Chains A and B, each alone.
Chain A
Amino acid sequence: MAYTIEGSDGAWEVVVGLEVHAQVISNAKLFSGAPTAFGAAPNSQVSFVDAAFPGMLPVVNAACVAQAVRTGLGLNAHINLVSRFDRKNYFYADLPSGYQISQFEHPIVGTGAIEVELADGSTKTIGITRLHLEQDAGKLIHDQHPSKTLIDLNRSGVALMEIVSEPDIRSPEEAGAYVRKLRSILRYLGTCDGNMEEGSMRADVNVSVRRAGEAYRTRCEIKNVNSIRFVMQAVEAEAIRQVEVWESGGTVVQETRLFDSGRGITRPMRSKEDAQDYRYFPDPDLLPLVLDEDWVASLKAALPELPDARRTRFIQSYGLTLYDAGVLVAEKATADFFEKVCRGRDAKAAANWIAGDFFAAMNRQGRSIEDPPVTADALGGLLDLIADNTINGRIAKDVFEAMVATGKSAAAIVDEQGLRQVTDTGAIDIAVTRVLAANAANVALYQAGNTKLFGFFVGQAMKAMAGKGNPALINETLKRRLAEPRE
C-alpha cells in the first residue's frame, strides 16, 4: 500500500529527493594541508589557504578525490574521469574567500543507484543523480560575546561530498531508509563517519506533493536536517503543509525552508526571489580533475564488502534469515561484532542473542556498538557455556544481565552463583516426582488428554530446581513419568 497524504478531497502522493552532505574522512582538507580533527580548539586547524589570505592557492587533496571515487563506486555510480571545480560566489562571514569551491557543471561522480529495505520486507531502488566534491564553510558563533559574532574556521575547507538522489522517494519511511542505507554504505567504505549529531552528515530535503499520475508540482527545499528521524518528520510535515496549501486553493511557491524539530513544522527561510545568484564559473586556480582509469579500477578492486553483499553472505554462510541478516549488516560495526561472536560458534544463536538481549541492553543503557554493554568475546563466552550445556538458556539470560551489570565473564558469574546446569538424572527425577505428587489433579487432566499442561509441569520442575535443570532432561523425565499408568 503506497504512502499517501489524505487530503480533504482525495489522496496525495509525496515526492522526495535528498541532497546529503557527507564530510569526507581524510587527514587534511580538500584544498589545503590543514588537519580536519573534530572538536579541536577554535581556529587551530586553519591554514592561510583556508583563511583566504592574499596570494594563497588551492591544491586538490588526492586522498579526498580517492574517497569520492570510492563512494561513487560504492553507490554503483558512473565515475567521470574528467571533472571540474567551479567557484560558487557569495558573501558571508563564514566563507573567507567569498566563494566556495564546488563542482557545478561537471561532478566527479554521475548517476548510480542504491537499494533500500522497507519495513514490509520489500526493497526499493533509489537513483543517485550525482556526487560532487566541495568545501565546507567555517562556523559562526553568536553566543560568546554580547555584540560580536566569532568565527571558527576549523571547518573551512573541509571536504564534503554532496550526494544528490533522484526524486524517487515516496514516503517518510523511504526517506529514512535511504539516508540510513546511504550512511551504512559510507561507513562500510570508510569515506564518511555518518555522525549526524556532529554535523558530519546532513541532508537537504526536497519535497513536493501531487495527485496520482500528475507531473511533478513545485517543490520546497528543507535545509540542513541533521537526523534521520527529523528527515522523516520533515517530509511528513512539509507534505501535509503543501497539501493544505493546494487544497485551500493556494499555490506552493518554490522556497528554502527550515525544519523546526521542536514544533514539528517547517518554516520559510528564503524565497526563490531572494535566492542568491552564485555566479558559478570554473575555478581558474585549478586544472580540470583528470582521473586515470587504472587508478579508478584499483580503487574498485580494493573496495571492502558492502552491506548488500554482506547480507547475502550472512544468509548463505550462516543460514540467517533475511530479516536477521539485514538487521546485523545495517551497521558495519554490528556486522563486525556479530562475526566476532559467531566465529566457531552457532551463528543463529549468536544472531538471536545480538538482535535480542544484547540490543535490548545496549538501548536500555544508551550505549552503542562501539561501546557495547558486553564485549564480543564475553558474549561468545556465554554462548560457549550454553553450547556445552554448562548452563541452560533460561539461566543464560540471568547470566547475561549479570555480565552487563558487573562486567564479569559468564564463567565467573556461573561459578560464583552456582548456576551450573543440573544434569544429574537422579536429582531431576526427585524434582519431577515432587512436582507430579503436588499436582495430582493436573496430572489427571493431562493424562485425560489435556496435553497443553506439559509446559506447566516443565515450569514447575524447573522452578523446583531453581532454574538450573537441564531442560532436555526435564522434558524427557516428565514425558516418561507422565506416560506411566496412574498408580
Chain B
Amino acid sequence: MMLTDLTIAAARDGLRAKAFSAVELTMAHLHAIEALNPRLNAYITVSHARAVDRARAADAALAAGDACALTGIPLAIKDLFCTEGVRTTAASKILGPFVPPYESTVTANLLRDGAVFLGKANLDEFAMGSSNMTSAYGPVENPWKRRQDPNAVLVPGGSSGGSAAAVSARLAMGATGTDTGGSIRQPAAFCGIAGIKPTYGRCSRWGVVAFASSLDQPGPLARSVEDCAILLGSMAGHDPKDSTSANVPVPDFRAACRRGVKGLRIGVPREYRLDGTPDAIERLWRQGIGWLRDAGAEIVDVSLPHTKYGLPAYYIVAPAECSSNLARYDGVRFGARVAGGDLRELYERSRAEGFGAEVRRRVLIGTYVLSAGYYDAYYIRAQKVRTLILRDFTDAFATVDALVVPTAPSAAFAQGENMDDPIKMYLNDVFTIPASMAGVPGMSVPAGLDADGLPLGLQVIGRPFDEETVFAVSAAIEQAAGFTAVPALRAGG
C-alpha cells in the first residue's frame, strides 16, 4: 500500500511503529502534489520547506517518544485560515500578498498536536461558492471522473473544494475546511470523502477570514469518519479570543465512532424529499436508512416544516454579514490597492478590481437587505425564519437522536454547469443550509456511487454539541456502505 493511501489512524500507528518516517510520509505527499496539483489546482500555496522542517521535528518527537495526536500527519489547510508567515489569500485578489503575522486558533491547535501543513488549499473566493469556480486562483478539478464522459472536468464542490480534492486525490491525509452553508459537507460528498461541520462554537473562528460570522464554522475533511474525529479532537476547544466559541469540554470523538447505533432513534425528515432529486440519491437515502435499521437503530419519520425557507433566509443572512465583514478590504491597510484620485475612488477601484463577481454580488445583496426601509422586511424576517428552523430541529431532537438526509441534491457537476444562474448554484446547498442556520452539527459520509460512478454522500445531523452521536451514526453508515471506490486522479493512480 502507498503511504498516501493510508488513513490518519493507520499512519499514526505506522509512524509510532517506525514503519516509515514522518519525512517519508510528508515527502510522499509533496511528490504527489508535485505530480497532480498542476492539474487539480487543489493547492494555492505549497509550503514545501516548512512541511519538511515540521516532518523532521515530528520524527524527532517520535524518536523521543513524545508524539502527540497528529505528530507527522500531513494536512492541507484551507486558504481561509490565517497561517503565520505563510501567505493567506482567501482565494481573492484583494488580499494580494498578505502574509498573516498570526496563526489561527484552529491551525495553532493542529500544530500543537504535531501536524505537518503541506500548503494552503484552494477555495471559492472568501468561501462564497459551491463549485470552487469563484477562486481568483482558478478552479479546482474534481479527481473523480464520469464513467461515460471521462473527459468532462467536474467541480469538487465548494467552498472547501481544494481541501476536498486534495484529500480525495491523496495529496493530503486530511484537511481543514470551513462550512457556512455546506462548504465542508457538499465538497466532501462531491469528492467521495467524509467531512463534518461541527456545532457552531465548537471550533474557534479566530484567525479564519470571515464570510458570515454567525454561520462560519471550521471543521475537518478526511477519508474516513474516524480520521475526521481525530482531526476534530485537535481542532476543537474553547477559545477566549472568539466570543462565540463555546466553553464546553471536547469529548473523545474517536471513541464515539465505535459506539454503534443500537437503540438510537434516527429521524427521517419528510421535507428533504424534493421534486427533481435524482433517483440515485433517493435510492441511496433509502439504503442508508435500511443500513441504520439493520444496525439496530429505530427509524422515525419527522417533520422540519420550515426547511423550505432555509435557503432564501440563508441568502439574506449570509450576504448581510459578508457585506459588513468584507468592508475591511478597502485597499488602505493591507492587501491589494488600486490608487484613485480621492479616498472614495481608491475604495471603489480597489474593491472593484479586488473582488470577483460572486463576492461583489453577495456584498451588493447584503448591502441591500440591510438598508434602511428593507432591513425589517429582509434581515429581521430572515432571522425570524432562522429561529423557526432552529425550533424545528429542537422539536425533532426531542424525539430522535440524529437525522439522516442526503448531503447534496446532485453528484459533482461539470465546470460550466449551473453557471448561468446563481440561484441554480445556490440550490446545491439546499440540504446543508438548514443545519447551518440552526448551528447544529452535520457530517457528510461517502455512501455510494451514482450511475456515472460519481460518489454520493449521506448527511447525519445531530443535536448541538453532540458530535459524538453524529460520528457514531456516520461510522455505522460508512461501515455498512463499505465505500472503497477511488477517484480516477490520485497519487500513484
Chain A residues engaging chain B, CB cutoff 8 angstroms: 48, 51-60, 87, 89, 91-93, 96-99, 149, 151, 277, 279-281, 284-287
Known: A55-B206, A99-B327. A284 touches B213 (CB 8 A): yes
Contact A284 B212 (CB under 8 A): yes
The residue that A91 contacts in the complex, of B213, B241, B347, with Cβ under 8 A, is B347
Contact B243 A285 (CB under 8 A): yes
Give the Cβ gap from B106 to chain A, nearest Cβ, in Å.
Answer: 10
Encode contact with A along B332-355: 1 for CB under 8 Å, 0 otherwise. 111000000001100100000000
Alpha-carbon distance between A180 and B328 when the two chains are bound, in angstroms = 38
The residue that B334 contacts in the complex, of A53, A57, A59, A97, with Cβ under 8 A, is A53
Known: A48-B102, A284-B213. A57 touches B332 (CB 8 A): no
Which has the most chain B C-beta neighbours within 10 Å: A48, A57, A99?
Answer: A57
Known: A279-B370, A284-B213. A54 touches B243 (CB 8 A): no
The residue that B379 contacts in the complex, of A53, A281, A287, with Cβ under 8 A, is A281
Contact B324 A57 (CB under 8 A): no
Interface set, chain B 47-91, CB cutoff 8 A to A? 81-82, 88, 90
Contact A151 B243 (CB under 8 A): no
Contact B334 A281 (CB under 8 A): no
Alpha-carbon distance between A219 and B116 when the two chains are bound, in angstroms = 63
Contact B244 A55 (CB under 8 A): no
Which has the most chain B C-beta neighbours within 10 Å: A53, A54, A92, A279?
Answer: A54
* Interface assignment of B402: CB less than 8 Å from any CB of chain A: no
Which residues from chain B contact A277 at a C-beta distance below 8 Å? 371-372
Contact A97 B328 (CB under 8 A): yes
Residue of A nearest to B216 (CB): A284
The residue that B90 contacts in the complex, of A54, A87, A91, with Cβ under 8 A, is A54
Known: A93-B343, A99-B324, A277-B371. A48 touches B243 (CB 8 A): no
Which residues from chain A contact B333 at a C-beta distance below 8 Å? 51-53, 96, 151
* Interface assignment of B210: CB less than 8 Å from any CB of chain A: yes
Alpha-carbon distance between A59 and B81 when the two chains are bound, in angstroms = 19
Which residues from chain B contact A285 at a C-beta distance below 8 Å? 210, 213, 243-244
Alpha-carbon distance between A408 and B347 when the two chains are bound, in angstroms = 63
Which residues from chain A contact B212 at a C-beta distance below 8 Å? 284
* Interface assignment of B138: CB less than 8 Å from any CB of chain A: no
Which residues from chain A contact B208 at a C-beta distance below 8 Å? 55
Contact B330 A281 (CB under 8 A): no
Known: A55-B207, A96-B332, A287-B243. A281 touches B320 (CB 8 A): yes
Top 5 A-B pairs ranked by shortest CB distance?
A98-B327, A279-B370, A284-B214, A284-B213, A52-B328
Interface set, chain B 82-113, CB cutoff 8 A to A? 82, 88, 90, 95, 98, 100-102, 104
Which residues from chain B contact A96 at a C-beta distance below 8 Å? 328, 332-333
Contact sample, A vs B, 8 pairs, CB 8 Å cutoff: A54-B90, A57-B206, A91-B344, A96-B328, A279-B372, A281-B375, A284-B244, A286-B244
Alpha-carbon distance between A231 and B349 when the two chains are bound, in angstroms = 40
Which residues from chain A contact B124 at a C-beta distance below 8 Å? none
* Interface assignment of B482: CB less than 8 Å from any CB of chain A: no
Residue of B nearest to A97 (CB): B328
Contact B243 A53 (CB under 8 A): no
Contact B206 A91 (CB under 8 A): no
* Interface assignment of B297: CB less than 8 Å from any CB of chain A: no
Alpha-carbon distance between A289 and B344 when the two chains are bound, in angstroms = 35
Give the Cβ gap from B89 to chain A, nearest Cβ, in Å.
Answer: 10
Alpha-carbon distance between A87 and B379 when the two chains are bound, in angstroms = 14
* Interface assignment of B321: CB less than 8 Å from any CB of chain A: yes
Encode contact with A along B246-265: 1 for CB under 8 Å, 0 otherwise. 00000000000000000000
Contact B243 A57 (CB under 8 A): yes
Chain B residues engaging chain A, CB cutoff 8 angstroms: 81-82, 88, 90, 95, 98, 100-102, 104, 205-210, 212-214, 240-244, 320-321, 323-324, 327-328, 330, 332-334, 343-344, 347, 367, 370-372, 375, 379
Known: A54-B98, A55-B207. A287 touches B244 (CB 8 A): yes
Give the Cβ gap from A391 to chain B, nearest Cβ, in Å.
Answer: 64
Given contacts A54-B82, A54-B210, A284-B214, 4 further A-B contacts (CB under 8 A): A53-B100, A97-B328, A280-B370, A287-B244
Contact A57 B241 (CB under 8 A): yes
Contact A57 B205 (CB under 8 A): yes
Alpha-carbon distance between A279 and B371 when the two chains are bound, in angstroms = 5
Alpha-carbon distance between A89 and B327 when the two chains are bound, in angstroms = 8
Give the Cβ gap from B187 to chain A, nearest Cβ, in Å.
Answer: 21
Give the Cβ gap from A42 to chain B, nearest Cβ, in Å.
Answer: 14
Contact B372 A91 (CB under 8 A): no
Contact A54 B324 (CB under 8 A): no
Contact A281 B328 (CB under 8 A): no
Which residues from chain B contact A284 at a C-beta distance below 8 Å? 212-214, 244, 321
Contact A55 B210 (CB under 8 A): yes
Which residues from chain A contact B343 at a C-beta distance below 8 Å? 92-93, 149
Give the Cβ gap from A108 to chain B, nearest Cβ, in Å.
Answer: 16
Which residues from chain B contact A279 at a C-beta distance below 8 Å? 323-324, 367, 370-372, 375
Give the Cβ gap from B319 to chain A, nearest Cβ, in Å.
Answer: 12
Which residues from chain A contact B367 at a C-beta distance below 8 Å? 279
Residue of A nearest to B347 (CB): A91
Contact B332 A151 (CB under 8 A): yes
Known: A53-B334, A96-B328. A59 touches B241 (CB 8 A): yes
Give the Cβ gap from A343 to chain B, nearest Cβ, in Å.
Answer: 47
Alpha-carbon distance between A350 and B333 when the two chains are bound, in angstroms = 57
Give the Cβ gap from A304 to chain B, nearest Cβ, in Å.
Answer: 31
Which residues from chain B contact A149 at a C-beta distance below 8 Å? 343
Give the Cβ gap from B87 to chain A, nearest Cβ, in Å.
Answer: 12
Which has the most chain B C-beta neighbours within 10 Å: A58, A280, A284?
Answer: A284
The residue that B243 contacts in the complex, of A55, A58, A89, A280, with Cβ under 8 A, is A58
Contact A48 B370 (CB under 8 A): no
Which residues from chain B contact A91 at a C-beta distance below 8 Å? 327, 330, 344, 347
Which residues from chain B contact A280 at a C-beta distance below 8 Å? 370, 375
Contact A286 B328 (CB under 8 A): no
Which residues from chain B contact A52 at a C-beta distance below 8 Å? 328, 333
Residue of B nearest to A153 (CB): B333
The residue that A98 contacts in the complex, of B95, B324, B334, B344, with Cβ under 8 A, is B324
Residue of A nearest to B215 (CB): A284
Which residues from chain A contact B98 at a C-beta distance below 8 Å? 54
Give the Cβ gap from B352 to chain A, nearest Cβ, in Å.
Answer: 14
